[in-house]
Structure 1
Amino acid sequence: MASGRRSAGIVVFRRAAGPDGGLEVLLGHMGGPFWAHRDAGAWSVVKGEVEAGEEDEAAARREFTEELGLPVPDGPLVPLGEVRQSGGKVVAAWAVEADLDPAGAVFGTFTMEWPRGSGTLREFPELDRIAWLPLAAAREKVVAGQRPLLDRLAEARPTPPRGRR
C-alpha cells in the first residue's frame, strides 16, 4: 500500500516438456539505453510501481497488463512474498501458471532524457523483449535482488491443475 520504493509483479511459469517437468518462467529484458547491451542481471519479473493507496496485488495485476499489453492469466496466484533489491526498492510478487505466447506482448513505454544532459526526450519500451527461461537460466539472467522470488517458486512446487499431472 506504499508508493515510491515499492513494486509488485506477477511471475508467469509453466512446466517444461520432458521427463523432469522442470519449471520455466517468463521474464522481461529491461528496456532503455542502460540495459540495451546487457544480458546477465538485465532481466526482471514483470512488475511496476505500487501507486499511493493501491494494494500490492492490484498493482501487480495492473502493471502486468500495462507492461505486456496482455491480461493476467487466469488461475490461482501463488504468493512469493517480498524481496529488497540492492537499491532499496521492495518487490512483492505472485506466481501464476500459464503458457503465454511472447509474440502477443505489446510493451508499455517510458520517456527519459537521452542522451543524458542533451535536453532531448526519447521514448523507450519498459521491456524490450520477454522470453521463457528454464529456472536455472532465469536465476543467472534476473536482477540479483529478484533471485529469491524464483527460489521460492521452485520451493513451492505448485500443484499442476487437474488433468495435467
Structure 2
Amino acid sequence: MTVRRSAGLLLFRTPGPGTEVLIGHMGGPFWARRDQAAWSIPKGEYADDEAPEAAAVREFTEELGLPAPDGPYLPLGDVRQAGGKTVTVWAVEADLDPAAVVPGTFTLEWPRGSGRIQEFPELDKVAWLPLEQARDKLVAAQRAFLDRLAELLAG
C-alpha cells in the first residue's frame, strides 16, 4: 500500500495585536456549500523522489498561482488526516494579497456518472484569518498546525 503524503506552506503575518494565517476554501462541488472544516492549508501530494519541503514550495505555486515566499521556513511537523494522508507543513512569515491568487484547477466528472468532465479551482477563495477563526474553518487534523505555530511564536 502506498502512503499518501502532502506538504504545504502556512503563511502567517502579524498586522496588529494577533497573528493571521492564509488558508483556502477547497474548490469543487463537494465543498461548495460547506464552510466549517472546509478550508485547508495550501498543500499537495508528492512522490518518494521529491523532498517534502520542495513539494511544499511547488504546491504553493500550483495551488495559488504565485511564487512561494522566501523563507526561512519553520517546520510545524506532520499530522495524519482522517483519510490516512500524512501532511507536513512549514510556516513562513509573509504577506500576500488574496486578490492576486490565480488558483490551479482539477478536473472531475460532475455530476458523478454523467460522463461530463468539468474543471474546478483547487481553492475557490483564500483569506487571511485570525488563528481562532481559522481553527473553525480548517479541516480537523490541520488545526494542530495552528497550535504549533502559536507555540513557536510564543517563544
Same fold (TM > 0.5): yes
Structure 2 equivalent of residue 50 of structure 1: 46
Counterpart of 2:90 in structure 1: which amino acid? W
Correspondences of 1:67-86 after superposition (within 5 Å): 67-86=63-82
Distance 2:124 2:42 in 1: 12
Correspondences of 1:3-22 after superposition (within 5 Å): 5-17=4-16, 21-22=17-18
Question: Per-residue deviation at 1:27?
Answer: 0.2
What is the DSSP-based 3-state SS (H/G/I as helix, E as strand, rest coil) of the residue aligned with 2:119? strand
Equivalent of 1:119, from 99, 115, 131? 115
What is the DSSP-based 3-state SS (H/G/I as helix, E as strand, rest coil) of the residue aligned with 1:157? helix
Query: 1:91-131: CA deviations, max 9, x gaps?
Result: 00000001110011100000010000111110000000000
Equivalent of 2:97, from 98, 101, 104? 101
In structure 2, the gaps of 5 or more residues are: none
Q: Does 1:36 align with 2:62?
A: no
Q: Does 1:131 align with 2:127?
A: yes
Q: Is the 8 A contact 1:4 1:50 kept in 2?
A: no
Matched pairs, number: 154
In structure 1, the gaps of 5 or more residues are: 160-165
Query: 1:17-73: CA deviations, max 9, x gaps?
Result: 2xxx21100000000000001000000000000123111001000000001011111
Percent identity reads 67
Equivalent of 2:22, from 26, 29, 43? 26
TM-score, with structure 1 as normaliser = 0.90
Distance 1:77 1:116 in 2: 40
Distance 1:105 1:16 in 2: 20
Question: Per-residue deviation at 1:74?
Answer: 1.6
Question: Per-residue deviation at 1:4?
Answer: 5.5
TM-score, with structure 2 as normaliser = 0.96
Question: Per-residue deviation at 1:158?
Answer: 6.9
Distance 1:32 1:4 in 2: 24
Q: CA RMSD in A?
A: 1.3
